[in-house]
Protein backbone atom coordinates (compact mmCIF):
# COMPACT_ATOMS: atom_id res chain seq x y z
CA UNK A 1 0.00 0.00 0.00
CA UNK A 2 1.09 3.50 -0.57
CA UNK A 3 3.29 2.91 -3.56
CA UNK A 4 2.32 4.79 -6.67
CA UNK A 5 0.12 7.26 -4.90
CA UNK A 6 2.07 10.23 -6.06
CA UNK A 7 3.79 10.77 -2.74
CA UNK A 8 7.51 10.90 -2.35
CA UNK A 9 10.12 9.53 -4.70
CA UNK A 10 8.48 7.94 -7.69
CA UNK A 11 11.50 5.85 -8.42
CA UNK A 12 13.37 3.76 -5.95
CA UNK A 13 16.34 5.72 -4.63
CA UNK A 14 19.32 4.04 -6.22
CA UNK A 15 22.31 3.29 -4.11
CA UNK A 16 24.71 6.18 -4.27
CA UNK A 17 27.68 4.01 -5.17
CA UNK A 18 25.74 2.34 -7.97
CA UNK A 19 24.85 5.65 -9.49
CA UNK A 20 28.42 6.81 -9.45
CA UNK A 21 29.63 3.60 -11.02
CA UNK A 22 27.06 3.96 -13.79
CA UNK A 23 28.20 7.46 -14.55
CA UNK A 24 31.85 6.50 -14.42
CA UNK A 25 32.46 9.09 -11.81
CA UNK A 26 33.73 6.85 -9.05
CA UNK A 27 37.33 7.77 -9.64
CA UNK A 28 36.83 11.46 -10.15
CA UNK A 29 37.67 12.65 -6.67
CA UNK A 30 40.44 11.05 -4.76
CA UNK A 31 40.97 12.28 -1.26
CA UNK A 32 44.63 12.64 -0.63
CA UNK A 33 46.11 12.35 2.81
CA UNK A 34 46.96 15.64 4.47
CA UNK A 35 50.51 16.77 3.99
CA UNK A 36 51.52 17.40 7.56
CA UNK A 37 49.02 20.18 8.15
CA UNK A 38 46.85 19.86 11.21
CA UNK A 39 43.67 18.24 10.12
CA UNK A 40 43.48 20.03 6.80
CA UNK A 41 42.98 18.14 3.63
CA UNK A 42 42.96 18.90 -0.03
CA UNK A 43 41.34 17.15 -2.94
CA UNK A 44 43.07 16.26 -6.14
CA UNK A 45 41.43 16.30 -9.53
CA UNK A 46 42.70 14.42 -12.54
CA UNK A 47 42.56 15.46 -16.16
CA UNK A 48 41.97 18.74 -17.94
CA UNK A 49 38.23 18.47 -18.25
CA UNK A 50 37.33 16.53 -15.14
CA UNK A 51 35.93 13.56 -16.99
CA UNK A 52 37.34 10.21 -15.98
CA UNK A 53 37.14 6.84 -17.63
CA UNK A 54 36.45 6.83 -21.35
CA UNK A 55 35.03 10.32 -21.66
CA UNK A 56 38.28 12.28 -21.75
CA UNK A 57 39.75 12.54 -25.22
CA UNK A 58 41.66 15.71 -24.51
CA UNK A 59 45.03 14.14 -23.91
CA UNK A 60 45.21 15.85 -20.56
CA UNK A 61 44.14 12.73 -18.66
CA UNK A 62 47.38 12.52 -16.72
CA UNK A 63 47.09 15.99 -15.24
CA UNK A 64 46.59 16.09 -11.47
CA UNK A 65 45.50 19.32 -9.85
CA UNK A 66 44.97 20.16 -6.20
CA UNK A 67 41.60 21.59 -5.25
CA UNK A 68 41.52 23.72 -2.14
CA UNK A 69 38.85 23.32 0.50
CA UNK A 70 37.85 25.99 2.99
CA UNK A 71 39.88 25.72 6.16
CA UNK A 72 40.25 27.82 9.24
CA UNK A 73 41.66 31.20 8.39
CA UNK A 74 44.52 32.48 10.55
CA UNK A 75 44.35 35.95 12.04
CA UNK A 76 44.23 38.74 11.08
CA UNK A 77 41.03 38.24 9.15
CA UNK A 78 40.99 41.75 7.73
CA UNK A 79 38.29 44.41 7.59
CA UNK A 80 35.72 44.37 10.34
CA UNK A 81 35.99 40.62 10.79
CA UNK A 82 38.58 40.81 13.59
CA UNK A 83 36.41 43.23 15.52
CA UNK A 84 33.31 41.07 15.11
CA UNK A 85 35.11 37.91 16.23
CA UNK A 86 36.75 39.69 19.17
CA UNK A 87 33.49 41.21 20.36
CA UNK A 88 31.70 37.92 19.95
CA UNK A 89 34.49 36.26 21.95
CA UNK A 90 33.98 38.75 24.78
CA UNK A 91 30.23 38.29 24.73
CA UNK A 92 30.56 34.52 24.67
CA UNK A 93 32.92 34.66 27.66
CA UNK A 94 30.50 36.92 29.51
CA UNK A 95 27.71 34.44 28.87
CA UNK A 96 29.93 31.62 30.22
CA UNK A 97 29.79 29.60 27.05
CA UNK A 98 33.44 29.20 26.07
CA UNK A 99 34.40 30.39 22.61
CA UNK A 100 35.71 27.05 21.39
CA UNK A 101 32.52 25.34 22.56
CA UNK A 102 30.45 27.76 20.55
CA UNK A 103 32.50 28.69 17.47
CA UNK A 104 34.88 25.99 16.32
CA UNK A 105 36.07 27.44 13.06
CA UNK A 106 36.41 30.85 11.48
CA UNK A 107 36.68 31.06 7.71
CA UNK A 108 37.27 34.18 5.65
CA UNK A 109 36.76 33.53 1.98
CA UNK A 110 36.12 35.99 -0.86
CA UNK A 111 35.69 38.81 1.61
CA UNK A 112 33.00 37.04 3.60
CA UNK A 113 33.21 35.83 7.18
CA UNK A 114 31.81 32.44 8.12
CA UNK A 115 31.59 31.31 11.73
CA UNK A 116 31.06 27.58 12.18
CA UNK A 117 28.92 27.21 15.28
CA UNK A 118 28.21 24.06 17.25
CA UNK A 119 24.54 23.21 16.65
CA UNK A 120 23.48 23.31 20.31
CA UNK A 121 24.84 26.88 20.66
CA UNK A 122 23.37 28.50 17.55
CA UNK A 123 20.43 30.22 19.26
CA UNK A 124 22.70 31.55 22.05
CA UNK A 125 25.23 32.91 19.59
CA UNK A 126 22.48 34.49 17.48
CA UNK A 127 21.08 36.21 20.56
CA UNK A 128 24.51 37.62 21.45
CA UNK A 129 25.06 38.79 17.89
CA UNK A 130 21.69 40.53 17.83
CA UNK A 131 21.83 42.27 21.19
CA UNK A 132 25.47 43.22 21.78
CA UNK A 133 26.22 46.90 21.38
CA UNK A 134 29.16 46.49 19.06
CA UNK A 135 27.60 43.74 16.94
CA UNK A 136 23.91 44.55 16.41
CA UNK A 137 23.03 42.03 13.74
CA UNK A 138 19.39 43.03 13.71
CA UNK A 139 18.36 41.32 10.52
CA UNK A 140 18.47 37.66 9.69
CA UNK A 141 18.62 37.90 5.93
CA UNK A 142 18.49 34.27 5.00
CA UNK A 143 18.46 30.73 6.29
CA UNK A 144 19.36 27.98 3.88
CA UNK A 145 20.40 24.37 3.97
CA UNK A 146 23.21 22.70 2.08
CA UNK A 147 23.73 18.96 1.79
CA UNK A 148 27.48 18.30 1.54
CA UNK A 149 27.25 14.73 0.36
CA UNK A 150 29.49 14.95 -2.71
CA UNK A 151 31.84 17.61 -1.47
CA UNK A 152 33.25 16.27 1.79
CA UNK A 153 35.48 18.59 3.71
CA UNK A 154 36.49 18.94 7.29
CA UNK A 155 39.08 17.55 9.59
CA UNK A 156 37.77 14.14 10.60
CA UNK A 157 35.21 11.50 9.82
CA UNK A 158 32.89 12.93 12.44
CA UNK A 159 32.76 16.23 10.62
CA UNK A 160 32.35 14.56 7.24
CA UNK A 161 29.38 12.61 8.58
CA UNK A 162 27.74 15.92 9.44
CA UNK A 163 26.72 16.56 5.86
CA UNK A 164 23.62 18.68 6.49
CA UNK A 165 24.58 22.30 6.96
CA UNK A 166 22.31 25.17 7.91
CA UNK A 167 23.60 28.57 6.86
CA UNK A 168 22.41 31.83 8.41
CA UNK A 169 23.17 35.16 6.76
CA UNK A 170 23.11 37.98 9.30
CA UNK A 171 23.04 41.69 8.50
CA UNK A 172 23.92 44.50 10.83
CA UNK A 173 21.97 47.50 9.62
CA UNK A 174 23.66 49.73 12.18
CA UNK A 175 27.20 48.98 11.00
CA UNK A 176 26.34 47.78 7.49
CA UNK A 177 28.06 44.47 7.92
CA UNK A 178 27.27 40.95 6.93
CA UNK A 179 28.45 37.70 8.47
CA UNK A 180 27.47 34.11 8.03
CA UNK A 181 26.86 31.41 10.62
CA UNK A 182 27.00 27.77 9.69
CA UNK A 183 26.07 24.67 11.67
CA UNK A 184 26.58 21.07 10.61
CA UNK A 185 24.55 18.05 11.69
CA UNK A 186 24.38 14.44 10.62
CA UNK A 187 21.51 12.68 8.91
CA UNK A 188 21.04 10.42 11.93
CA UNK A 189 20.71 13.26 14.40
CA UNK A 190 19.63 16.33 12.43
CA UNK A 191 18.61 18.51 15.35
CA UNK A 192 19.35 22.23 15.57
CA UNK A 193 17.82 24.66 18.06
CA UNK A 194 15.46 27.07 16.36
CA UNK A 195 16.40 30.74 16.22
CA UNK A 196 12.79 31.88 15.85
CA UNK A 197 12.81 33.22 19.41
CA UNK A 198 15.68 35.53 18.41
CA UNK A 199 14.64 36.26 14.83
CA UNK A 200 10.92 35.63 14.17
CA UNK A 201 11.66 35.88 10.46
CA UNK A 202 13.35 32.46 10.66
CA UNK A 203 9.92 30.84 11.04
CA UNK A 204 9.20 30.11 7.38
CA UNK A 205 12.82 29.76 6.38
CA UNK A 206 13.42 27.06 9.00
CA UNK A 207 10.28 25.31 7.84
CA UNK A 208 11.71 25.39 4.34
CA UNK A 209 15.02 23.90 5.49
CA UNK A 210 13.13 21.19 7.38
CA UNK A 211 11.00 20.51 4.32
CA UNK A 212 13.85 20.41 1.82
CA UNK A 213 16.67 18.92 3.93
CA UNK A 214 15.06 17.27 6.95
CA UNK A 215 16.78 19.35 9.62
CA UNK A 216 14.72 19.32 12.82
CA UNK A 217 14.57 22.74 14.44
CA UNK A 218 13.91 22.24 18.13
CA UNK A 219 11.71 24.86 19.70
CA UNK A 220 10.19 25.99 16.41
CA UNK A 221 6.56 26.98 17.01
CA UNK A 222 5.12 24.90 14.17
CA UNK A 223 7.66 22.88 12.24
CA UNK A 224 5.55 21.68 9.34
CA UNK A 225 6.30 21.37 5.67
CA UNK A 226 5.85 24.53 3.71
CA UNK A 227 6.74 23.90 0.08
CA UNK A 228 5.64 20.25 -0.13
CA UNK A 229 2.33 18.73 0.98
CA UNK A 230 2.16 17.66 4.63
CA UNK A 231 2.24 13.94 3.89
CA UNK A 232 5.19 13.99 1.50
CA UNK A 233 7.96 11.45 2.07
CA UNK A 234 11.56 12.52 1.89
CA UNK A 235 13.36 15.81 1.62
CA UNK A 236 13.74 16.86 -2.02
CA UNK A 237 16.87 19.00 -1.91
CA UNK A 238 19.04 16.37 -0.30
CA UNK A 239 21.69 15.26 -2.73
CA UNK A 240 20.57 11.63 -2.69
CA UNK A 241 16.95 12.46 -3.50
CA UNK A 242 16.31 11.54 -7.12
CA UNK A 243 15.59 14.36 -9.52
CA UNK A 244 13.14 12.36 -11.57
CA UNK A 245 12.68 13.03 -15.24
CA UNK A 246 12.39 10.84 -18.29
CA UNK A 247 14.49 10.59 -21.44
CA UNK A 248 13.22 12.88 -24.19
CA UNK A 249 13.40 12.18 -27.87
CA UNK A 250 14.22 15.16 -30.03
CA UNK A 251 14.81 14.87 -33.78
CA UNK A 252 15.66 11.22 -33.48
CA UNK A 253 18.17 11.60 -30.70
CA UNK A 254 17.39 10.61 -27.14
CA UNK A 255 18.36 13.05 -24.43
CA UNK A 256 18.72 11.38 -21.03
CA UNK A 257 17.21 12.97 -17.91
CA UNK A 258 19.45 15.62 -16.34
CA UNK A 259 20.64 13.59 -13.37
CA UNK A 260 22.00 10.79 -15.55
CA UNK A 261 23.84 12.98 -18.02
CA UNK A 262 27.59 13.14 -17.96
CA UNK A 263 28.85 15.45 -15.27
CA UNK A 264 32.03 17.50 -15.56
CA UNK A 265 33.90 18.43 -12.46
197 touching other proteins, by CB under 8 A: no
C-alpha gyration radius of the chain: 21
CA dist., res. 68 & res. 259, Å (int): 26
Q: Which residue of 21, 60, 98, 204 would you call a contact of other proteins, by CB under 8 A?
A: 204
Whether residue 67 contacts residue 45, with contact meaning beta carbons closer than 8 Å, is answered with yes
* CA 144, 150, 154, 159 torsion-angle sign: positive
Binders of other proteins among residues 219 to 238 (CB under 8 A) are 226-229, 236-237
We find the least distance from the C-beta atom of residue 96 to other proteins, in angstroms, to be: 27
3-state DSSP percent of the chain in helix, strand and coil, to 5? 20, 25, 55
Q: Which residue of 81, 116, 199, 217 would you call a contact of other proteins, by CB under 8 A?
A: 199
The rounded Cα 151 to chain-centroid distance in angstroms is 9
We find the least distance from the C-beta atom of residue 15 to other proteins, in angstroms, to be: 19
CA dist., res. 25 & res. 181, Å (int): 32
11 touching other proteins, by CB under 8 A: no
Binders of other proteins among residues 32 to 91 (CB under 8 A) are 43, 45, 49-50, 67-70
φ/ψ (deg, to 5) at 43: -105, 145
201 touching other proteins, by CB under 8 A: yes
Binding mask 105-144 for other proteins (x = CB under 8 A): ----xx-x-x-----------------------xxxxx-x
Q: Which residue of 146, 155, 187, 216 would you call a contact of other proteins, by CB under 8 A?
A: 146
We find the least distance from the C-beta atom of residue 144 to other proteins, in angstroms, to be: 3
CA dist., res. 134 & res. 94, Å (int): 14
Q: What DSSP string runs through 96-132?
A: T--HHHHEEEEEEETTEEEEEE-GGGHHHHHHHHHH-
Applying CB under 8 A, the residues found at the interface with other proteins are: 1-2, 4-5, 43, 45, 49-50, 67-70, 109-110, 112, 114, 138-142, 144-147, 150-151, 167, 169, 173, 176, 178, 180, 199-201, 203-205, 208, 226-229, 236-237, 243, 258-259, 261, 263-265
Amino acid sequence: MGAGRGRGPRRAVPDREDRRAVQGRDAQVSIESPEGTEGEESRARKGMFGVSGTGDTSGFGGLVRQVADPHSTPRPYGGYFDEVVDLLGEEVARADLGFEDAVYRVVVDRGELTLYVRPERIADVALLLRDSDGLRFELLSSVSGVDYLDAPFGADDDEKAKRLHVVYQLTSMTFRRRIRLEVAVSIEDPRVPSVTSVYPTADWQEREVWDMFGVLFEGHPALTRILMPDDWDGHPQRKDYPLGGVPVEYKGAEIPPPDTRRAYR
